[in-house]
Structure formats: C-alpha cells, structure tokens
Structure 1
Amino acid sequence: MPFSGYARTTARTNDPKYDFIVIGAGSAGSVVTRRLVDAGLRVLLLEAGPRDDMPAIHNPPEAMALWHSAVDWGFSTQPQTFAGKQDIYWPRGKTLGGSSAINGMMYVRGLPADYDNWAALGAAGWAWRDVLPYFRKAENCNIAGLSAQHATGGLLQVSRPAMTPLAHAFVEAGQQAGLRWVEDYNDGNDPSGVSFPQYTMTPDGKRASAWVCYGDAIRQAPNLSVMTEARVLKLLNQGDRITGVHFLHRGIDYRIEAKHEVLLCAGSLMSPSILLHSGIGPAQQLEKLGMTALVNLPGVGENLHDHLVCPMVWSSPQPVAVGQASGIEAQIFHKSAPQLSGPDTQSLLFTMPFLPGVSQGYTVTPGLVRPKSRGRLWLGSRDPLRPPLMDPQVYAENEDLEIMTDKALLMRDVMHQSAMAPWRGREQGLDGVNSRAQMRDYIRRATGSYHHQVGTARMGVDDMAVVNPQLQVRGLSGLRVIDASVMPVIPSGNTNAPSIMIGEKAADMILAGR
C-alpha cells in the first residue's frame, strides 16, 4: 500500500484490508498515523486537502500567504452579537499537516494548571504529570539554553532563528514597562513576562509541520495508504459499532471498512461536523434536519471556544524586517489578576502591519487565552460538503472584553517606552481612541481569532462529554476522536503542541489496548 496521493481500490466490506482508518492528516492525525504504521499496523489516512507541495507551506515568512488559498478551509463564523456584528475569519489547514502547515509555528505547551484542570473536570489521566512525558516524547529541541523540561530525540523539530532588531527592542520595552524577561516559557513555571517564541521549525529554517516531522519518512511504507482530496461524507456503522468511512474522492464514492477502529482527527470544526452527519450528536437538532440519531450526544458541537486577538497597527520610521519565522517575533504572557495561578493573556508582536495602506510598520495584538465565553457549532444543512455553522459567542461574557481592553492599554504602555522610540511612528486606525471606553469599543469591533478553536467533542464523564478519557466516543465502539476538539478547556497558549501531545498519548493508548 505505497503512498500514491490517492488509493485506487476499495476493500470489500467483509474483508477490510486496513486495521485503522485515520481521518485528517493534521497535528494529531499525522502523529497517530506514524505511530501505528511504525507498529506494523495497516493504516488508511484520509486527508480532505491536497498534498503539501505548495512552496509557501515550507517557507515560514510566507505563512499568511496561505490564508484563502487551496490549503485553507477558509471558514467564517456567524455574525458576532457581542463583537460588532462581524463575521470572524477562521483559516484552518486543508492539506497534509493540517493547520500545522499554515499556522504561525509557535511552540507553546500551556500551563501545568491547564492539564490539572482537565483531570479535575473528569479527564482522568490527562493531568500535567500524565501529559508532560508526551510533550517530551514528541520534541527534538534545537534551542540552546532552555530548561531540562525540553527533550531531544523526538520527531517534532523545535528551533529559534535569529530574532529581528524590532523584536529585541520590543522585549527591552517590555522590561522597561516592568515586565520580567522569560528565557523559557515552556519550563513548567509561571511564564508571565516578555519572551521570544520557540517555533516548530527545522534547524535550517523550514516549517516543521506535523506531516513533515511524522509523515514524510513513511510515505512509502507498505502498510500505509494515503488518499488526499478525500472528503468524508459520513461514518459507517453496524448497530452501535463504527465500522468504516463513506467518502468522496474526485467524484467517486468509496466505502471502506477498518478492522479495528476509525480515528477521527479532522479538527475542532470538521470532527464534530462529521459526527453530526453520521447521526452522532444532539438528537433533537438532527431530527430537525430529517436525520436519524445513531446516538444522542448533546455535547457534540457545544463548548466551542477560541483564543482572541485584536490588532493595533503602528507605522515605523525605519524599515521593518519580517524575520526568518512567521512574523510573530515576541510575546507577553500576563495575568489579568495577580491571584491567578498563571497568565490568561498572551499578547504578540507581528513584524508586519495588518492594515491596508500601511506599507512600513508592524502590529501588536493584545490576546486572550483563557476566555470565559462559549459558543457552539451545528449543521445548517444535511449536505456533508457544506461547512457547519459556527458561533463562538465572542464577548458573550463581558469579563473577556474587559480583560482584552486592559491588555490593549498595557500594549500601549509598552509601545511608549524609550526602547521603541526608533520604531515608533504613528498608531494607525485608532484615531480618537483615548479613553478606556473608546478602547473597549475598538476592541469589540476589531477583535479577530488566534485560530485555536477547541472543545467541540470534549473529553469527560458527564452527560455533555462526547469522548471518555480514552478518547472513545461515548455510546459507540470502534470510534475515537483525537484532536483539539476533545480539549475540555483551551490551554493557555497555542494549541499545536498540545494537539501533537494528544496524538502521541492516543497512539500509546491504542497500542496498549491491543
């Protein structure tokens, strides 16, 4: 079963030639596929997008050129009632590597308290002490001087190129504003302060997507078949057992069965969509569309939440180098209240101006990484080729808006420190924004996504949980969900590294059960 870009035959339903079918070659799906193939199991990997041969994928400074491209799902939310009635654009990766092929490549594990909270909410076995070994198993850290919490020998490349002069000035300005310098925000301690990012990049400066790190080496494995441009229509079942996948490939229907399990790794937006189209979700919602519920799981599509950012663009009196990474060159982790166990905000420096008409400048973005607001995802149609409807309810909880306003004012403070004087031109697009009330109104209208949606098939043991702590879908056999949708609560940082961790841990659970 060599890699060919697509399979040419279908297995007979009574003689499956695959042990596992993996849906989605993203951050978690690439990991699971590699570990199962290495164990000698027969795997069919289905990816909705094309192969990752677009040159911009592999050149980090071109990351944002991938938005609205053939490798981006290009989702948008419903109009946001509490955030200026705007539709928020949600780019998601649609290629080998998934969103790890189009993201900003930030390597952030999150806080120990994030995972201890998962365990307290019913995800037994997912506390910090349980997940840290999988972060370490995955990592091959190429950055000198970091803590012993990091590891070498894993498949995921973590590197840091030279930072730009603007980034160094911003870090100095943060310290002038009273923030501490943090050498390693992934050391398991409080990362509050200003720091340079760690990136999923190769030592020679290429993007280290999950597929590049985990999948490239097994492309020709005899026990792996990969079908790109394969759109899953629904899961197949016999009673309460999921047996295979019905999908469309270049106009041809396929129905292929798995001997053991189907592993749904399609991400926080497409995994719940596939579940719903398969009759797995809130029975009342499905019946309104004329669909029969296979199993009534009211939590499918619920608990949708995301990290938030809001651009504040500055012109520069001198040219700004984009840098060798994705343009995200520095960050500030900060607590909205001193009694918090760790920061709930992550503000960023981008070496590019996110505003038309500003040719020489950069962007600072206050960012919220522990939002209180929750939304949902649902089907607007029975057509599985149409995208689901998504409403994250941004700022439904006013506390989120107040915290973001605080961080915008903090970013202004940093910007007015002396270290930024050589780079500080004029603040763009915020004319007349002087008072806190005016800043709050700007934040409400201008907020966007940090592109880290989670929680729509959350893990737990209560009635709203979709999967159990082994990531098996409740009420069914033969099906697991393995991606960011299972996260009960979003981690306090970028979600790519946690998704890869989930893939590593899931693979171990699957193999241990054999």
Structure 2
Amino acid sequence: MDTFDVVVVGAGSAGAAVAGRLAGDGMRVLLLEAGGPDTDPDIRDPGGVFRLWGGPDDYNYFTAPQRHLGGRRLHWPRGKVLGGSSSLNGMIFVRGAAADFDGWGPGWSYAEVLPYFKRLEDFDRGADDYRGAGGPVRVISDYTPHPVNAAIVAAAVEQGIPFNPDCNGERADGAGFCQLTIKDGHRHSTATAYLGERPTLEIRTGARARRLLLRGRRCVGVEYTKDGTPHRVGAEHQVVVSAGTLESPRLLMLSGLGDPAALRQHDIPVVEKLPEVGRNLHDHALVPVIVAARRPVPPALPGLQAMHSQLFWRSRPGLPAPDVQPLFFHIPLYDGEMTGPADAFTLMAGIVRPESRGHLALTSADPDAPLHIDPAYLSAAADRACMRAAVELCRELVRADALKEWAGGELHPGDRDVSDHIARTLVTYHHQAGTCAMGSVVDHRLRVHGIEGLRVADVSIMPTVTSGNTNAPAIMIGERCADLVREDL
C-alpha cells in the first residue's frame, strides 16, 4: 500500500489549496479527485460556464421535491473535475461580510481569517489593509463591463443604493461590479492556481473515495476505486476530506461516522456517533426578474461571463450584514415554463442569509448511489419574506431612468403573483454549506470529533454560510487548514 504524509480527498476550491500549500512545504501529499483532468475548453472560457452544467465534469445532483416550491426538484451542478466547482462556477469572488465569521468560534473571527484572504489572492489593484497581492489566485476588478450590466448598477445608485468599488473591502453593502477569478481572459480555478509542478505532490484523477481506513479511533488512509479497481493508500500523518458539502458527509457516513440509526439502516457499522453529519444543510437561492430589451442587446464581451454586476442590500433594519445579493445578467434566463425574446436581460433576486435548514442522507451503502438531498428551501417564513423583498427590489430597479435605454416590459413575473412566481422559478445560488459544521461535527481546528488524524476542510464546515458567493471562503478554509496541519507537525 502506498503511503504519504497527507492524503487529501477532493481537488476542489479548498482541497487544491490544502494540497498545494502542504506539498509546497515538501510534504509528500496525495490528492485524490473523483473527476477527470480540467481539459474541457469551456472550463478555460469564462463564457462557457452554462455549457459545463450537466456535462461530464458535473456531479449533476438533484434535490428531493421541495414542499415550498410546488414539489419541484432543483438541479445542483457541482464540479467533478480538477478544481472542483471552481472549474464550473461563475468565477465571482466574494469573501462575505465581516459579521459572517463572528459566530464561527475561536480562530475564525474576521480579524483572524483576513490574513488568509489576503494571502490567497493576487488582486489587480494591489495590496492594502484589506486586500492582498502576489498570492496564487488572480482576482480582477478593473475591466470594462457590458453596457447592460453597467446600466443596472447605475439604476441601483439612482435608487439610493451607494456604489461600492470593493465589496471585499471595509464594507460589503452597495452596488458594483463583480470581482472575478479570471486571469488573462481565462478562468483561474484553484487547480490552475495551486496545482502546478510540485515534486512531492501526486494527483490521481478518476479516483472515487469509497471509505476512510480507520484503525481504532485513528484514520490511517483512504480506500478508493479507479477504473473499477479498488485501491488503498495510507496517510502517515492525516487525511483531509475536502470533497464538498455533499460528498464530504457521504464519505464520513460510509466510514461509520454519523447518526447511528441512519447508518444501521444501511448495515454500516457505527464507529463514532456523530448525529449532525449531513444536517444543517442550507443554500442561497435566486429568483429571476426578466425584462424585454428595447433594442438589441450587444453580445457577451470576450473574457467575461454574462453575470458581472451585483449589489448587497439589507431587507430590514437591525441585520449584522446584507441578506440580499441580486446578481445581474445581460441575457435572459428562461427556465421551465418561461418564454420570451432573445433580446432581454435578467435581474436575479438573491437571498444570502437563509434561516431554512435541511439535511442530506444516504440512500444506500453504495458510494455511487444517489443522495437524498433536502435543503428545505423557504421553509422559514423569514426566507419567504426576504425573497419577496429581493424580487420587489429588482422590479424597482427596472423602473429607474438609468435603465430607460434598455428596459422594455417586464416579462417575468409580469402579471403573475409574486409568491407563485417565486415557487415556480427559484433556483440554487450554488452555495450549499453546513453539513459537517464546526462545533457539531468538527472542532475549531477542523478535526473530526472522536477520530484522530482526520480533518474536513471545505464549505461543509461552515456553521452558517457566508453572505455571498462561497468560492473565496472555501479557498480561505483550505489555506487555514494547511496551517493547522503544519502546526500539528
């Protein structure tokens, strides 16, 4: 059996950072990735994002029927490829508000994670008190936006929402243009940023982790399959599970770490009672407001995606951070029963401090069986009220003088009842989190309770999801995990 200092499961936003940093220190690191190499040209092309979803590099998950969404099952694209979801996502770089980290526990306040955010980035405006330069991840902010995206930002400012040139600076609130993980006109995934030539790093793709190897209460390796053949690898120091919000809890449960009653249903021997594995599942959500254009909408700009403007807003007084993050597209996003002309654009109403909580569960001891995924969208009344406020905000923006040049009639929701429109059209914001939460599943050094030599490092460890896109926090978690491993040694 091959043995390494550290085995990392999952080459996504966090896992690539963990593996790259530790191998950079000279540790012998094995990185296991269930997907394949990141060779699809649409991964490099920022405009190719929608073409990747549902393809061979996508896990292509679907939720259970959602009670508050008319029984609909939502598609959840997730990256099954080097770079994970950083190879499939919208490339939007948002840290979240400072207040997001206050409840995470020792070592995770905003003041404590800020150095990691600064360390990981190469911001195109250079370093200051809040921003970093020279790090592995290129972040751009100074580009010429599409005229429709620019007009929507101008409409927000006209409606009294302040322009914010840097949502990752001192304050998140306000309207502006997205910061993007794009370098030289190409997507800059964590695979590109962290997984260059390193003599002590070995990467095995097509390697599907099936269970953790445990010796008593210590994790000593990983069992995986490649091309249908089982393999085992050992970890001298520890295993880091960075397989994501859905696959990390699955691997723990398949290894006997979870709720005893649920494990026994699938004849999985119980090693450690961790009833919260798979619970606390939550996600940001989007609802489209689609507007017909008065004149032809210019084509997409080379080296940019269609969504590169946004705003952060608070739906009610007293909130510690924005709970609404609409995202603006210069294309129409028709889905399901929606129809309309090609010349149209979309204001996606987004909620980013959800109170609804769901869970995921195994349906079988087979690692390739579908998961039962129930995020319980809009089960909390506060989320229903917040989403309605977000939709109405987007509708107000369309009526601003700054959009008169572009905005024709509102196509969706149009005359339809707003609550009905929300139930029929809500989609994921692709920011699922919380299923291996700090406190209940891992401690504040990311160690799995009751098991030595095992950490989880990805967005699943968030007790509460950050109020913005989760790629940047995921990378930060990977960076911090690498330091925690170093400290142990």
Common fold by TM > 0.5: yes
Aligned twin of 1:3: none
Return the letter of the residue paired with 2:324: T
Aligned twin of 2:161: 179
Aligned twin of 2:116: 134
Task: Determine if the alignment matches structure 1 residue 166 to structure 2 residue 148.
Answer: yes
Question: Is the contact made by 1:320 and 1:362 (CA closer than 8 Å) also made in structure 2?
Answer: no
Task: Determine if the alignment matches structure 1 residue 351 to structure 2 residue 330.
Answer: yes
Aligned twin of 2:191: 211
Aligned twin of 2:30: 44
Task: Determine if the alignment matches structure 1 residue 279 to structure 2 residue 279.
Answer: no
Find the aligned partners of 2:230 and 2:330 in 1 and give their Cα distance.
Answer: 46
Return the letter of the residue paired with 1:328: M
Aligned twin of 2:470: 495
SS at 1:311 equivalent? strand
CA offset digits 1:274-314 (Å, max 9, x no partner): 11111110001111122211111001000000011011222
Task: Determine if the alignment matches structure 1 residue 74 to structure 2 residue 60.
Answer: yes
Question: Is the contact made by 1:333 and 1:345 (CA closer than 8 Å) also made in structure 2?
Answer: yes
Aligned twin of 2:383: 400
Q: Select which of 214, 220, 240 maps to 1:263.
A: 240
CA offset digits 1:211-260 (Å, max 9, x no partner): 11111x22xx3322111011111111111111111111001110111111
SS at 2:384 equivalent? helix
Question: Is the contact made by 1:149 and 1:188 (CA closer than 8 Å) also made in structure 2?
Answer: yes
Return the letter of the residue paired with 2:434: G
Return the letter of the residue paired with 1:75: Y
Query: Normalization by structure 2: what TM-score?
Result: 0.96
Find the aligned partners of 2:46 and 2:151 in 1 and give their Cα distance.
Answer: 22
Q: Select which of 64, 81, 85 maps to 1:95.
A: 81
When structure 1 is superposed on structure 2, of 74-83 and 356-365 the one drifting more is 356-365
4+ runs deviating over 3 angstroms: none
Return the letter of the residue paired with 1:39: D
Task: Determine if the alignment matches structure 1 residue 337 to structure 2 residue 316.
Answer: yes
CA offset digits 1:397-446 (Å, max 9, x no partner): 0110111111111111100111111211232243422xxxx212211221
Give, in angstroms, the shift of residue 357 of structure 1. 4.9
Question: Is the contact made by 2:208 and 2:224 (CA closer than 8 Å) also made in structure 1?
Answer: yes
Tell me, which stretches of 5 or more residues in structure 1 are unaligned? 1-9
Aligned twin of 2:213: 236
Return the letter of the residue paired with 2:11: A
Q: Select which of 280, 299, 304 maps to 1:325.
A: 304
Number of equivalent positions: 482
SS at 1:413 equivalent? helix
Percent of paired sites with the same residue: 39
SS at 2:72 equivalent? coil
Question: Is the contact made by 1:402 and 1:440 (CA closer than 8 Å) also made in structure 2?
Answer: no
Shift in alpha-carbon separation, 1:193–1:222, aligned structure 2, 3 A: closer
SS at 1:345 equivalent? coil
Aligned ranges 1:95-494 → 2 under 5 Å: 95-119=81-105, 124-143=106-125, 148-160=129-141, 161-189=143-171, 191-202=172-183, 204-215=184-195, 217-218=196-197, 221-316=198-293, 317-323=295-301, 324-355=303-334, 357-433=340-416, 438-460=417-439, 465-494=440-469
Question: Is the contact made by 1:158 and 1:199 (CA closer than 8 Å) also made in structure 2?
Answer: yes
CA offset digits 1:318-343 (Å, max 9, x no partner): 22332332211211111011221221
Question: Is the contact made by 2:351 and 2:387 (CA closer than 8 Å) also made in structure 1?
Answer: yes
Question: Is the contact made by 1:20 and 1:262 (CA closer than 8 Å) also made in structure 2?
Answer: yes
Aligned twin of 1:4: none
Give, in angstroms, the shift of residue 52 of structure 1. 0.3
SS at 2:311 equivalent? strand
